[in-house]
Amino acid sequence: MQEDLATLIRNTAARVRARDFMWAVGISAGVGAAVILADLAEWGPVLLAWGAFLAALAVRYRFSSGRVWAAPVQRVVETELNAQEAELVNLRMVRDVAEALPEPLFILDAEGIVEHANPAAEELVGAKDISGRHFAAVLRAPAVYEAVERTLESKAAERVEFSTKGSVDRWCRAYVTAIETGADWPSHRSQRSLVFIRDLTSEHRLEQMRADFIASASHELRTPLASLLGFIETLRGHARNDPEAQKKFLSIMQAQAERMQRLVSDLMSLSHIELNEHVPPKDIVDVRAVAADVIESLGPLFEQAGSIVDFIAGTEEPTTVRGARDEIFQAVQNLLHNAVKYGGEPAMIKLRVGRGAAPALTEDDEPGVRAGDAPEQVAARLGVEVGDLVYFQVRDFGPGVDRAALPRLTERFYRVNVERSRKSGGTGLGLAIVKHILNRHKGGFQIESKLARGSAFTCYFQSAP
């Protein structure tokens, strides 16, 4: 390429020299003619002088190399090309570093247009190919863009804390600084700003989790602990020598201890899911296979309770999703546990896995009451068609849930029938865990119920390619 450039410059210089020679011939001829017409000299000496001038000019052009003429131009062009190449090398290095960073990073031009965003930044805003868009339209955080404007003016770096709202809230800190590229070459100098974002969601959730865990544990464990202390005092007192009372009280104490164990286990599980709720899972999971595994693992429970489970594969298409297998397993397990407890005696349960929209609870008459995310809402939020959703649905034929209680079923420790829930060993956290699992998977959770006709609990996921 350098050789081609040098040849081009020399050829161009040769054409310029030829054009200059012709201009010199024409101008000198005109001057000579004017001298003759004005009778300032005879035509002979003028013609001789003109010929001598042309001969000297021809010798000068003949023995001055085109390379000498082209050298200054070539040096200027090469200097500019080297400056551009250095700029490109710097930009490539910055881009490669940005791509490798696990934290979001944006590079903006002086007008606030995104020149580059790394994969972590695209994941933060939930969009692809955001280069070329204005930063204020990409990240809905006015405080950060205001910091960008101030930084470009003052050249002083700033730190800004902000939060993003969505299905899962995130807390972040942005580091904003001005950068000047092409500083060694004034013609290529430009102002840009760099926005580096650190996700503080885990730290924030950890603090919130500690507070929630202490509050929940102290509230829910107070009653069984008081009961245990009461029975211990009784056994150490007047029931010390009463075998029948000891047997009865020890049985109750064991039940209370098991209840506390389940409660602590569910609290720990919920806290773990909430801590990582903002981190989308990466594995590919077959929902149909997970559902079959859950049914097999709960076989002794179904047999003991006399429950009948009908597993329906509603599609022959793939039912793979991007998710965490253990969490999806837990979601199916929790819903089946609830169906056994509240689906009648004995419980009749249908577990269906399919694609698209799950079937309604009733199709022949007035539909049931619904709460949560409709499949159309989930698809719109994910930017896909309803047919691209994968679902599993657990339906029971129990007494159903009252309209007023339906929206509160996913609240922590909420129970429609407190006494019945405690007798069946419920902690009031099962549906809350399912809801947070669906939040982490960016899916949807819909509950439909009708009195005397049962309830249906449907979990929606985006299908994996």
Q: How many residues does the chain have?
A: 465
User: Pick from 180, 199, 218: which residue ends a domain?
Assistant: 199
Q: Are residues 308 and 268 in the same domain?
A: no
The enclosing H or E element of 107 equals strand 105-109
Q: Are residues 275 and 297 in the same domain?
A: no
pLDDT in tens, 115-141: 888 888 888 887 888 888 988 888 888
- The pLDDT of residue 243 is 84
- 154, 156, 161, 167 alpha-carbon torsion, rounded to 10°: 70
C-alpha closest to that of 105 among 192, 226, 209 = 192
Residues pairing with 321 in the sheet: 285, 463
Q: Are residues 358 and 453 in the same domain?
A: yes
Residue 156 lies in a domain: yes
State how many domains the chain has.
Answer: 4
Here the tokens at position 282 are 């990466």
297-325: b (≥16 Cβ within 10 Å) or e: ebeeebeebebebeeeebeeeebbbbbbb
Q: Are residues 37 and 57 in the same domain?
A: yes
User: Pick from 279, 294, 326: which residue ends a domain?
Assistant: 279
CATH of residue 222: 1.10.287.130
Q: Are residues 138 and 192 in the same domain?
A: yes
Residue 87 lies in a domain: no
Q: Are residues 399 and 463 in the same domain?
A: yes
Here the tokens at position 54 are 């042309």
Residue 88 lies in a domain: no
- The pLDDT of residue 93 is 73
Q: Are residues 309 and 445 in the same domain?
A: yes
- The pLDDT of residue 248 is 85
CATH of residue 111: 3.30.450.20
Helices 2-37 & 66-100 angle (0-180, nearest 10) = 140
pLDDT at position 3 over 70: no
CA dist., res. 325 & res. 36, Å (int): 104
CA dist., res. 288 & res. 295, Å (int): 11
The answer to which of 175-179, 212-216, 437-441 has the lowest mean pLDDT is 212-216
CA dist., res. 459 & res. 375, Å (int): 9
Q: Are residues 186 and 216 in the same domain?
A: no
CATH of residue 387: 3.30.565.10
In which domain, by residue range, is 442 found? 281-465
Residue 444 lies in a domain: yes
- The pLDDT of residue 185 is 45
CA dist., res. 202 & res. 170, Å (int): 9
Indicate the average pLDDT of the chain: 81
The answer to which of 194-208, 328-342, 415-429 has the lowest mean pLDDT is 415-429
What's the pTM? Answer: 0.57
Residue 220 lies in a domain: yes
Q: Mind spelling out the 3-state secondary structure of 169-193?
A: CEEEEEEEEEEEECCCCHHHCEEEE
Q: Are residues 311 and 459 in the same domain?
A: yes
User: Pick from 169, 199, 229: which residue ends a domain?
Assistant: 199
Residue 96 lies in a domain: no
C-alpha closest to that of 137 among 170, 112, 105, 107 = 112
Percent over 90 (pLDDT), the chain: 22
Residue 83 lies in a domain: no
- The pLDDT of residue 96 is 73
Cβ neighbors of 184 (< 8 A, separation 6 or more) are 83, 86
Q: Are residues 165 and 210 in the same domain?
A: no
pLDDT in tens, 221-275: 777 788 788 888 888 887 788 888 888 888 888 877 877 877 777 777 777 777 7
pLDDT in tens, 5-64: 667 666 777 777 777 778 877 887 887 787 777 777 777 787 888 788 778 777 767 666
Residue 360 lies in a domain: yes
- The pLDDT of residue 199 is 84
Q: Are residues 40 and 119 in the same domain?
A: no
Q: Are residues 325 and 219 in the same domain?
A: no
pLDDT in tens, 381-391: 888 999 999 99
pLDDT in tens, 50-107: 788 778 777 767 666 555 655 666 676 677 777 767 766 766 776 777 677 788 888 8
Here the tokens at position 441 are 């998977």
Q: The tokens 């999806």 sit on which residue? A: 328
Here the tokens at position 126 are 């939930």
The enclosing H or E element of 312 equals strand 308-313
